[in-house]
Chain A
Amino acid sequence: MGTAVKKTMSVAYVTVLESVRRKDPYVVLILGAAMVLGAGVFSRFGVEGLEKFVKDVGLTVTTVFSIVICVVAAARQLPTEIQNRTLYPALGKPISRTGFFLGKYIGVGIMSSAVVVAFYVLLGIILLVFRIPVGGVFYQALYLRVLSMWFIAAGVLCLSLFLTHGANVTVSLLACLCMQIFAHSILYMHDELTGISLRLAEGLYLVAPHLELFDLSKKVIHGWPAIPLWVVGGMTLYGLVYTGILLTIGCARFRRMPL
């Protein structure tokens, strides 16, 4: 058991190392510069009391680009290994397909989480420089965003076994960035629906993975207080359940996949 975990962690380590070699973290630096630029735009306006704008620019950049990095990194893991035929020697060593899949997942999760943390540290520094106070909700937002990275990584890795690389990236990005629109549309239409269409809309809403619930950025931007801890716990459980389901489906598919 210990050896299997060790092997899985080795795959995770290699995945992180490969991301570093592919210069993914440099993207963080470039986007960090974009955030500073956003803050520079703020300082040009020269009016006090515009803290919301700085937080908005910073958090929007953080959310969008951390999702993009996570999706792109997760989507390329297995197709690249299969296409370059590097998967075969890896599986030739005594590591199970499940171990390999989980190793890839952990590697992407660690890399994406590190990117999110780097973004938040950078944003925290900018807010500190502008003397913009951040409450506990800022740290809760960081936690939920990191949690969402693991959730997204599981979903994208799972989808990469069913879809082509391009389709996976497109579908995943659309799902991640448009989930709020989907949820809001159902909430908006709900009152007008009846019968089967109402049941269908409710069913879809309840089954769909609500990535927008991992986003506390609006609360941070508009200076709302921290959310109750039971909600953070609930979201952790929600994320774990969905991640577990996606990883189970992914592992099952990968085990049975003809290579």
Chain B
Amino acid sequence: MRTLSANATIAVADRTMHKKTNLMCIPGLLIAALLVHLLTPHLQVEARYKPSEYEAAKETIAVSLMGQLRMSVGDLMWFKTLEYLHNGIIYRMPTKREESTGVHAVEFTGMGAGVAHKDGPALVPDQETDWRGVLGEMNRNIEPWRPGHAQHSAPQELIPWYQLLVRFNPHYIQAYTNGAFFMSDFAGEPEMGREFLAAGAEKNPWSFEIRSALGRLCFDYFKDYENAVEVLVKAVELGKEEKRYLAKRDDEFDNVQEQLLSEAYLFLARSYVELEQYDEALAVCDAGMKEVPGYNLLRVERRIVKKHMAGEL
């Protein structure tokens, strides 16, 4: 009897101790959270790489493996933005057989070079070509599907995905430029776009693309010409550097990069014009026409600058 009573007392004591231990965890967790909050800014080191360092880092095995994961998540989110753009319908590239029968992917450039892509037929086949019978008919009703060419939704719905994408991969340059473009031009939130690009420029100090987009935003929405000049001068400098770097590797700019460098020259010239620094504007137009000879808006801008200098405007 005494043993039983002693056991019961021990059990009660155990339970009480257990509860106390559990309760003691709460202040411990709170203190840990407070310490993390206080110490993180002092311990955190922001990675800053030059293009050469970034390229070298990509070639190391460990960084490459972790980078693959980061790129994969980033790419998945990139696909998510396309899914949103197509209202959930999945499109695919035409097969060789389809191409031989005249089915081709259609180039979509409606919202700027950043979201340019090709739309082929829908992945879920239409009634005429479907081999699945009733199952196919149910599939067409259950998955988003519509016949004909792709239609595109309001692009501001893509914004959260760009925000998330850069959290997973802060070096996904096109996510910054596209996201900011949609924030300012479609969602009517230029300030948000500026903050987004500024954060991107801080994380990617080698990127001329982000600076070009930021300069355009300062010019177009904030009429902040002095800041635009500062940002765009750097953009042009980095852009030229990047172009030389790619040329050494027998590579060249893609369409988006070409457009962003062209715009960097254009908005830099325009900013100088607004600041009435016509000589600098003319020099930028000349330099730009050499660097991106196919960009006709620079020729137009040059004529405008000339007229300003002649006092005709």
- Within A39-65, which residues are at the interface with B (CB < 8 Å)? 41-42, 45-53
Residue of A nearest to B140 (CB): A231
Partner of B144, one of A53, A218, A235: A218
Which stretch of B158-166, B223-231, B244-252, B270-278 is in the interface? B158-166
Interface residues on B, range: 35 or more
Which residues from A are CB-within-8-Å of B135? 206, 210, 213
Which residues from B are CB-within-8-Å of A234? 134, 138
Complex Cα spacing A96 to B3, Å: 44
**Per-position contact with A for B148-167: 1 when CB-CB < 8 Å, else 0?**
00000110110111011000
Return B183 CB to nearest CB of chain A, in Å.
Answer: 7
Return A185 CB to nearest CB of chain B, in Å.
Answer: 10
Are A45 and B142 closer than 8 Å at their CB atoms? no
**Per-position contact with B for A148-164: 1 when CB-CB < 8 Å, else 0?**
00000000000000000
Are B156 and A227 closer than 8 Å at their CB atoms? no
Are A50 and B160 closer than 8 Å at their CB atoms? yes
- Within A129-188, which residues are at the interface with B (CB < 8 Å)? 184, 187-188
Residue of B nearest to A221 (CB): B88
Partner of A49, one of B97, B125, B157, B163: B157
Are B192 and A191 closer than 8 Å at their CB atoms? no
Are A52 and B84 closer than 8 Å at their CB atoms? yes
Which residues from A are CB-within-8-Å of B124? 187
Are A192 and B88 closer than 8 Å at their CB atoms? no
Are A231 and B159 closer than 8 Å at their CB atoms? no
Are A191 and B131 closer than 8 Å at their CB atoms? no
Say yes or no: is B237 at the interface (Cβ < 8 Å to chain A): no
Looking at A41, A48, A187, A231, the one whose CB has the most chain B CB atoms below 10 A away is A187
Residue of A nearest to B129 (CB): A191
Which residues from A are CB-within-8-Å of B142? 213, 215-216, 219, 227, 231, 235
Which residues from A are CB-within-8-Å of B96? 192
Say yes or no: is A222 at the interface (Cβ < 8 Å to chain B): yes
Say yes or no: is B139 at the interface (Cβ < 8 Å to chain A): yes
Residue of A nearest to B136 (CB): A187
Are A184 and B157 closer than 8 Å at their CB atoms? no
Return A175 CB to nearest CB of chain B, in Å.
Answer: 18
Say yes or no: is B105 at the interface (Cβ < 8 Å to chain A): no
Say yes or no: is A13 at the interface (Cβ < 8 Å to chain B): no
Task: Report if A192-B154 is in contact (Cβ < 8 Å); known contacts: A45-B163, A218-B143, A231-B138.
Answer: no
Say yes or no: is B92 at the interface (Cβ < 8 Å to chain A): yes
Complex Cα spacing A41 to B131, Å: 43
Interface residues on A, range: 35 or more
Task: Report if A192-B97 is in contact (Cβ < 8 Å); known contacts: A49-B156, A222-B87.
Answer: yes
Which residues from B are CB-within-8-Å of A190? 131
Which residues from A are CB-within-8-Å of B139? 210, 213
Complex Cα spacing A47 to B143, Å: 28
Partner of B97, one of A53, A191, A210, A221: A191
Complex Cα spacing A210 to B124, Å: 14
Are B156 and A50 closer than 8 Å at their CB atoms? yes
Task: Report if A224-B160 is in contact (Cβ < 8 Å); known contacts: A49-B154, A188-B92, A205-B132.
Answer: no
**Per-position contact with B for A52-81: 1 when CB-CB < 8 Å, else 0?**
110000000000000000000000000000
Return A183 CB to nearest CB of chain B, in Å.
Answer: 8
- Within B69-110, which residues are at the interface with A (CB < 8 Å)? 84, 87-88, 90, 92, 95-98
Say yes or no: is A202 at the interface (Cβ < 8 Å to chain B): yes
Residue of B nearest to A213 (CB): B142
Are B131 and A46 closer than 8 Å at their CB atoms? no
Return A42 CB to nearest CB of chain B, in Å.
Answer: 6
Say yes or no: is A258 at the interface (Cβ < 8 Å to chain B): no
Return A162 CB to nearest CB of chain B, in Å.
Answer: 26
Which residues from B are CB-within-8-Å of A49? 154, 156-157, 187
Are B90 and A184 closer than 8 Å at their CB atoms? yes
Which residues from B are CB-within-8-Å of A195? none
Are B160 and A188 closer than 8 Å at their CB atoms? no
Q: Apart from A47-B156, A50-B156, what are 19 other A-B pairs with CB-CB below 8 Å?
A: A45-B159, A46-B192, A47-B159, A49-B154, A50-B157, A50-B160, A51-B157, A53-B157, A184-B123, A206-B132, A213-B138, A218-B88, A218-B143, A219-B143, A219-B144, A222-B88, A231-B141, A234-B134, A238-B138
Interface pairs A-B: 6 shortest CB-CB: A222-B88, A53-B160, A218-B88, A191-B95, A231-B141, A222-B87
A-binding residues in B (CB < 8 A): 84, 87-88, 90, 92, 95-98, 123-125, 131-132, 134-135, 138-139, 141-144, 153-154, 156-157, 159-161, 163-164, 183, 187, 189, 192
A-B contact pairs, 16 of them (CB 8 A): A45-B163, A47-B183, A49-B156, A50-B160, A51-B157, A53-B160, A192-B95, A192-B96, A210-B135, A210-B139, A213-B138, A218-B88, A218-B144, A219-B144, A227-B142, A235-B138
B-binding residues in A (CB < 8 A): 41-42, 45-53, 184, 187-188, 190-192, 202, 205-206, 210, 213, 215-216, 218-219, 221-222, 224, 227-228, 231, 234-235, 238
